[in-house]
Amino acid sequence: MEEFFSTIPPWSKTYLIACVVLAAVSTYGIISPAYYLLIYQQLFRGQIWRLLTAFIYFGDFSINFLFHTLFMYTPANPRITFLPNLEKMYQKKRGDLVVMLVFVMALVLVLCAPTE
C-alpha cells in the first residue's frame, strides 16, 4: 500500500486524500452529506464549497466508493489517461493542467445546471 501511495503524483494524492476524508466524515456521521452535494440554491446563500465538494464526494464508504477510487487510479485500458497519468503528462506545465481541470469542472457545472 505504501509503495502504491508513494507512486501517486502530488495533486492526485491530495485529491485521493480529500475523497477518503470526505467519505470518512460522512460515513461516521460527523457532517451530513447534505452539506457536500451541489444544490444551486445554496450557492446563492454563500455556500460556495459545494462547487468543489461536488467533485470530491463519491458517497459513504461502500463498494461503490471503492470502485470509484479504483477506476480513477487504475485504468482498465492503459492508453486512457486518468488523473495520475494526466498529471504526469503535464508535469512541466502545471498551469496548463490547472486551467484544463478548472475548465472541465466549470463545463460540467454549467451542463448540469437546472434549466427551470
Q: Which tens digits make up the pLDDT trace of 40-72?
A: 888 889 888 888 888 888 888 989 888 887 777
Task: Count other Cβ atoms within 10 Å, centred on residue 36.
Answer: 20
Average pLDDT of the segment spanning 102-107? 87
pLDDT of residue 75: 56
Q: Which residues of 2-31 are buried (b: 16+ CB within 10 A; e: fewer)?
A: eeeeeebbebbeebbeebeebbebbeeeee
State yes or no: pLDDT of 97 exceeds 60. yes
Average pLDDT of the segment spanning 86-106? 79
Query: Distance (Å, rounded) from C-alpha 47 to C-alpha 55?
Result: 15
Residue 102 sits at φ, ψ, to 5 deg, of -65, -40
* Single-letter residue type at 64: N
Q: Which three cell numbers stand for residue 92?
A: 512541466
pLDDT of residue 28: 92
Alpha helices in the chain (DSSP H): 2-7, 10-27, 40-43, 50-56, 63-73, 83-89, 94-111
pTM of this prediction exceeds 0.85? no
pLDDT of residue 21: 92
Tell me: the pLDDT tens digits for 10-45? 777 888 889 899 999 999 999 988 888 888 888 889
Model confidence at 74, in pLDDT bands (50, 70, 90)?
A: low
Q: How far is CA 109 from the centre of its chain?
A: 13
State yes or no: pLDDT of 9 exceeds 80. no
